[in-house]
Structure 1
Amino acid sequence: MKILNCGIVALATLLATTSLASAEGELNIYNWGNYTSPDMIKKFEDKYKVKVTITDYDSNDTALAKVRQGGSGFDMAVPSQNYLPIWIQEGLLLETDPGKMENFKNVAKEWADPEFDPGRKYSVPWAMGIVGTVVNTDVYKGDINTWGIIFNPPDELKGKVNVVPEMIDVMDAAILYNGGKKCTGDLTILKKVRDTLLAAKPNWIAMEYGTIQKMGSGDFAASSDWNGSAFRQRLANPKIHFGYPKEGFVNWSDNLVVLKDAKNVENAKLFQDFMMDPENAGMNSGFHRYANGIAGSEKYMPADMKDAPEIKVPDEFKSVGVPSQTCPPDVQALYTKIWTELQK
C-alpha cells in the first residue's frame, strides 16, 4: 500500500509539471475584438472538450504592452506581421513549430515561409487584409480611392471623419500620401507627415476602433479602416464602400501564436493545428470577412466573399499595395514622437 501511494504521488507530481496537466479543459486567447467566429470556437470546444475564453484588445501596442508585463494568464495572441518579429526577438513566444503540424500542408505556399516568421516556427495564419478608406457614398459621391479622404477631407466629410487609431497604420497612410515609403526615416518626409496629421485632425470627429457600428449608424461618414470591417459595414448599408488609396496602401496579416508563459500549451498547439484546417479557417473568415492564408478555405466561406470588392483588389490598384513590415527601432521612435504629439 505504501508503494502504491508513493507511485500515485510521483505520478501526480509528474503530471503537475507537464503542460498536459495544466492544459486540460482550458484555453485563453487574447485577440482583436469582434474577430473570432463563435461557431468556430464552439466546434473546437465540442471536438476537444476544451473551454475557450477570449479576451479582446484593440491595438497591437495594447497587446504587446500587456504580454510584456508577464503573468497575463493568456495562452495565445494574434499579433500583426509587422509586430510579430518584436514578440519573437523579445522572447515572448513559445516555439511550437507549426510547420511540423498535421494541417500545415494546407497553408498557402506564399504564406508558408514568411519573412516575419521564417519556417513558421511560431505562428499560423489567422487573417489578412488591407488598410484603406471607407466612405458612405450617400454623403460623399466623389473619389474615395485616396488618402485625401482622411488627410484633406472634402467639405461634405469635414467633421464626419473617423480615424482608426492604430499608430503604424495611420503613419503608413500619411507617409504614402506624402510620397514617402513605408518605414522611412527621412526627416523631410516625416515633417510633412506631422504637418499633415496636425492639420487634418480638426476635420475628424473621432479616433476610434468601433467603425462597424458607427459607420452603420451614420455617426461617421468616412474612416480609415480595414477591408473586412468595411465589408461588414456594406452588408448593413450598401451605400458604404471601401476605397483603395491610389497613393499606396498596406497589405497585412495577423497570425496566431502561443505565449512563452502559456499554461495550456497542448490545447494551444491543438488550436494552431485546428486553424490550419480549411473548413475551420473558412468558417472564421465567414465571420470576420477577411481572407486567410489557408488553401482550400474558400469553399467553406459565404458565396458573397468570392468577388467581394473589399476582398478582390481591382487590377488598377494591385501595383500600389505594399507589404506590412517591421520598422527599425529608431524609425519607430520617430513615429511614436509624432503620434504622441497628435494625441495632445
Structure 2
Amino acid sequence: MRNSLRKSRVISALAIGAVGALALTSCGGGVSDSGGNDSSDKASSKYVEATSGELNLYTWSDYFPDELVKKFTKDTGIKLNVDYYDSNENLEAKLRASDGAGYDVVVPSDYMVEILKNDNLLMKFDSSTLPNGGNIKDDFLDVYFDEGRQYSTPYLYGTTSFAYDKDVIKEDLTSWNDYFNPPASAGKVGIMNDQVEVVNSALRATGGEFCTTDGTELQAAQDLLTAFKPHVGTINSDAILERLANGEQSMAMIWNGAAHRAMQEKPSLTYVYPKEGIALWQDNFTIPSGAKNVDQAKTFLNWMLDPENMAVAVNFQAYASGVKGTDELMSPKLAKSEAIVIPKGYDLAKPVKPCSNEELTNYTKIFETFKG
C-alpha cells in the first residue's frame, strides 16, 4: 500500500519506526438531518454535524470492526453500511467507473490518495475544519500525498512483509529472497493480490529500484515471479491471517497487524523483517467527489478522530494510528508484539515513493503475467 517522498521519524509507544512525514480537540458543530449536499456545498469546507441518515463506507476486507459500526450508529443516529475491496487498484477502478460516486467514505492508502485527488475523484474538505481535527498527530499533517490534510484524515498505519510457521519451516528465513525461493517444507505459499506490494517486493529481492523503467531490472523481477509461481497457493489479500492461523498455509505475504492477530492463535508463527527492507504504509479516510451523504461522511471522519473510537480499531486491527491519544489506549499485548514493535536497530521499514502512470504500466504487465 503505501508510499512517501518526505521522510521523517515517528517514535510511538509501539516504536513503529520511520513514518514518512506522512494531525485539532473536539467541540461544536451544527446539526443536520439531511442526506447530503449539492455540488457547491460539497466543495465547501463547512462542517455540519449529521444526526440521522445513512453512510456508505467502502474499505479493505476485515478492516473496520463491527463494534464500531454499531457504536457509530448509536452515537450519531446514522446508519452505517460497509462494503469491502481487497486492493487499492480495485478501489480506484470502482471510483473511476462511477466518476467518484456510489460511496460516501473510502479508505485508500497513501499513494492512492494522491492518485485519486489528482484525478478529481476525492472531495476537498480540509481536516482543520473538523472539530476533532486537532487530534491528528503533527507528523501526520503535512504528508506528501495530501499536504495539510485537505482531502483526508488518517486511519491506521503499518508494514508489509511475510510470516511463516517455525514449527513447519525449520529454516531461518530472513529475506525476500528466502520468501520468493521458499524451502520445500513451506508447501504452497500465499501472496497478496496487490501489484505494487508484489512487484516492489520482487524488486527488493533482485536488487532493482522501485518504479524502475530499466528493462533488465523489470525482467529480473518478472523472472523471479515466474519461477515463484509454482510455489504459490493463493494470490489473495483476503483471509490471509485465517489461512496462516488454521495451518492451511505455512507462509504468506501479510500486513503486520494481520500477522499479530494470526500469531495470537498460532504462536509458532513469526513475522519477518527482511534484510532488503519492508514497506511502511498509511491508510486514510477520504470522501469521494460523487458522495451523496457528505454531512454524514464528515461526521464519520470527525467521529473517528476521537481517540476512544480510533483505539477500538487500533486494538482490533492491530495497527498504530495517526490520532493523538491512541497509543496510550493500546492493549499491552499489542504494544509488545514482535509483529508491531519494529526490532531495535532495524531501520529498513520505510515509505515507498509512488510510481508514475508509465511506471505503473510496467508493474501491471508484470503482475498480470504472474497471475495469468
Q: Deviations over 1:143-199 (max 9, x none)?
A: 233113421111211x32111121100011011111123222222211110110001
Shift in Å, 1:288 = 0.8
Residue number in structure 1 paired with 2:209: 181
Instruction: Decide whether aligned partners of structure 1 residues 151 and 298 sit closer, same or farther in structure 2, where only a CA change above 3 A counts.
Output: same
Structure 2 residue 293 is the aligned partner of structure 1 residue 270: no
Residue number in structure 1 paired with 2:286: 257
Structure 1 moving runs of 4+ over 6 Å: 18-23
Given the alignment, which residue of 331, 341, 365 partners 1:312? 341
User: For residue 308 of structure 1, what is the amino acid of its counterpart?
Assistant: S
Structure 2 residue 371 is the aligned partner of structure 1 residue 343: yes
Given the alignment, which residue of 27, 32, 40 partners 2:68? 40
Residue number in structure 2 paired with 1:328: 356
Structure 2 residue 251 is the aligned partner of structure 1 residue 222: yes
Residue number in structure 2 paired with 1:50: 78
Residue number in structure 1 paired with 2:320: 291
- The alignment's TM-score, normalised by the length of structure 1, stands at 0.91
Given the alignment, which residue of 156, 174, 191 partners 1:163? 191
- State whether residues 132 and 249 of structure 1, in contact with CA within 8 Å, keep that contact through their aligned partners in structure 2: yes
User: For residue 266 of structure 2, what is the amino acid of its counterpart?
Assistant: N
Rounded Cα–Cα distance in structure 2 between residues aligned with 1:40 and 1:22: 17
Instruction: Decide whether aligned partners of structure 1 residues 21 and 127 sit closer, same or farther in structure 2, where only a CA change above 3 A counts.
Output: closer
**How many aligned positions are there?**
329
Rounded Cα–Cα distance in structure 2 between residues aligned with 1:274 and 1:204: 41
Residue number in structure 1 paired with 2:158: 129
Rounded Cα–Cα distance in structure 2 between residues aligned with 1:185 and 1:211: 31
Shift in Å, 1:39 = 1.6
Structure 1 unmatched runs, 5+: 1-12
Residue number in structure 2 paired with 1:107: 136
Residue number in structure 2 paired with 1:3: none
Shift in Å, 1:249 = 1.0
SS of residue paired to 1:64? helix
Rounded Cα–Cα distance in structure 1 between residues aligned with 2:173 and 2:142: 35
- State whether residues 86 and 193 of structure 2, in contact with CA within 8 Å, keep that contact through their aligned partners in structure 1: no
State the identity as a percent. 32
- State whether residues 133 and 149 of structure 1, in contact with CA within 8 Å, keep that contact through their aligned partners in structure 2: no
Rounded Cα–Cα distance in structure 2 between residues aligned with 1:40 and 1:179: 42
Larger radius of gyration: 1
Residue number in structure 2 paired with 1:59: 87
Residue number in structure 2 paired with 1:211: 240
Q: Deviations over 1:60-82 (max 9, x none)?
A: 11111111111742101000111
Instruction: Decide whether aligned partners of structure 1 residues 195 and 218 sit closer, same or farther in structure 2, where only a CA change above 3 A counts.
Output: same
Rounded Cα–Cα distance in structure 1 between residues aligned with 2:278 and 2:210: 10
Shift in Å, 1:203 = 1.3
Shift in Å, 1:110 = 1.2
Residue number in structure 2 paired with 1:231: 260
- State whether residues 162 and 206 of structure 1, in contact with CA within 8 Å, keep that contact through their aligned partners in structure 2: yes
- State whether residues 97 and 120 of structure 1, in contact with CA within 8 Å, keep that contact through their aligned partners in structure 2: yes
Shift in Å, 1:326 = 1.6
Residue number in structure 2 paired with 1:119: 148
Structure 2 residue 87 is the aligned partner of structure 1 residue 83: no
User: For residue 135 of structure 2, what is the amino acid of its counterpart?
Assistant: N
Residues 145-156 of structure 1: pairs in structure 2 closer than 5 A: 145-156=174-185
**The structure with more helix, counted as a fraction of residues:** 1
Rounded Cα–Cα distance in structure 2 between residues aligned with 1:133 and 1:264: 38
User: For residue 343 of structure 2, what is the amino acid of its counterpart?
Assistant: P
Residue number in structure 1 paired with 2:225: 197
Shift in Å, 1:21 = 12
User: For residue 326 of structure 1, what is the amino acid of its counterpart?
Assistant: P
Rounded Cα–Cα distance in structure 1 between residues aligned with 2:208 and 2:139: 27
User: For residue 103 of structure 1, what is the amino acid of its counterpart?
Assistant: N
Q: Deviations over 1:266-285 (max 9, x none)?
A: 01001111111111111111
- The alignment's TM-score, normalised by the length of structure 2, stands at 0.84
- State whether residues 26 and 267 of structure 1, in contact with CA within 8 Å, keep that contact through their aligned partners in structure 2: yes
Rounded Cα–Cα distance in structure 2 between residues aligned with 1:99 and 1:246: 39
Structure 2 residue 280 is the aligned partner of structure 1 residue 246: no
Rounded Cα–Cα distance in structure 1 between residues aligned with 2:51 and 2:353: 34
SS of residue paired to 1:218? coil
Instruction: Decide whether aligned partners of structure 1 residues 97 and 16 sit closer, same or farther in structure 2, where only a CA change above 3 A counts.
Output: closer
Rounded Cα–Cα distance in structure 1 between residues aligned with 2:37 and 2:227: 58
Residue number in structure 2 paired with 1:69: 97
Shift in Å, 1:23 = 8.8
User: For residue 164 of structure 1, what is the amino acid of its counterpart?
Assistant: M
